[in-house]
């Protein structure tokens, strides 16, 4: 698992970036607009009504969720502390919820919303706890700066949850008549969470490789 975890981390991010680009380029929304990270939610790329490549996107979410689960499980092999074990369990549960996000596209508004918010909540809590473990526990070998990076995820999530939600109701009521603001902070902050999470996964994956290399070098020097 130690060797699989960093590969799974890289694969998770690559798949996510790829399916997002594939789905975003041909996207035409309810108002005839192109996709923009500044005023569209990520899940809108999975809409069966407006996203031409929704099949690729939704299946990409499912596949990347499996990768995220393997990456999270691998964390336990690098940092085995009481705190980190809690973080890993929460992370694994969040990866299962993320599979649900891919299986239940945003057209099914209420169940999709429950799954998405549950995923983001548990994922943010998991990364917070694991980052705290990095910062406070000597048995956690990851560099301290990765903890600071990890803390950006819950900060972004809290900001997201604090944003006014009134425009969502107006969007549902107005339908094609709804005019999106050039910058709609609620979906944009969702993108901030996404970037914070995926960049943290990449940084942790790199450090997994470095930790394994350092361990190998120590073993060779002893030999």
Give pLDDT tens digits for 52-89: 999 999 999 999 999 999 999 999 999 989 999 999 99
Residue the block writes with tokens 């094609």: 176
**pLDDT-flagged residues of the chain (< 70):** 218-223
pLDDT score recorded for residue 218: 61
Give pLDDT tens digits for 107-119: 999 999 999 999 9
Ranges of each domain in the chain: 4-218
| Residue 37: how many other CB atoms lie within 10 Å | 16
pLDDT score recorded for residue 3: 86
Q: Burial level of 54, CB count in 10 A (0-12/13-18/19+)? A: buried
Tell me the HSE value of 189 on the side-chain side, using a 13 A CA sphere: 18
pLDDT score recorded for residue 204: 97
Q: Burial level of 117, CB count in 10 A (0-12/13-18/19+)? A: middle
**For residues 74 and 5, is the Cβ–Cβ distance under 8 A?**
yes
pLDDT score recorded for residue 172: 87
pLDDT score recorded for residue 47: 95
What the block records as the tokens of 11 is 């694969």
For Cα atoms 175, 181, 187, give the angle at the middle one, nearest 5 degrees: 85
């Amino acid at each position: 698992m130690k060797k699989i975890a960093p590969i799974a981390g890289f694969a998770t991010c690559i798949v996510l970036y790829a399916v997002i680009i594939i789905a975003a380029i041909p996207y035409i929304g309810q108002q005839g607009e192109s996709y923009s990270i500044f005023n569209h939610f990520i899940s809108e790329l999975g809409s069966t009504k407006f996203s031409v490549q929704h099949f690729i996107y939704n299946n990409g979410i499912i596949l990347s969720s499996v990768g995220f689960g393997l990456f999270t499980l691998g964390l336990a092999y690098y940092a085995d502390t009481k705190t980190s074990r809690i973080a890993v369990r929460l992370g694994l549960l969040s990866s299962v919820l993320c599979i649900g996000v891919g299986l239940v596209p945003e057209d099914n508004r209420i169940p999709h919303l429950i799954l998405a918010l549950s995923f983001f909540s548990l994922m943010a809590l998991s990364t917070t706890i694991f980052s705290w473990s990095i910062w406070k526990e000597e048995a956690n070998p990851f560099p301290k700066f990765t903890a600071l990076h990890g803390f950006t995820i819950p900060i972004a999530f809290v900001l997201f949850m604090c944003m006014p939600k009134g425009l969502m109701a107006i969007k549902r009521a107005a339908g094609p008549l709804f005019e999106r603001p050039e910058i709609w902070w609620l979906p944009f902050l969702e993108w901030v969470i996404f970037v914070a999470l995926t960049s943290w996964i990449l940084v942790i994956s790199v450090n997994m490789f470095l930790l394994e290399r350092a361990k190998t070098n120590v073993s060779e020097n002893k030999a």
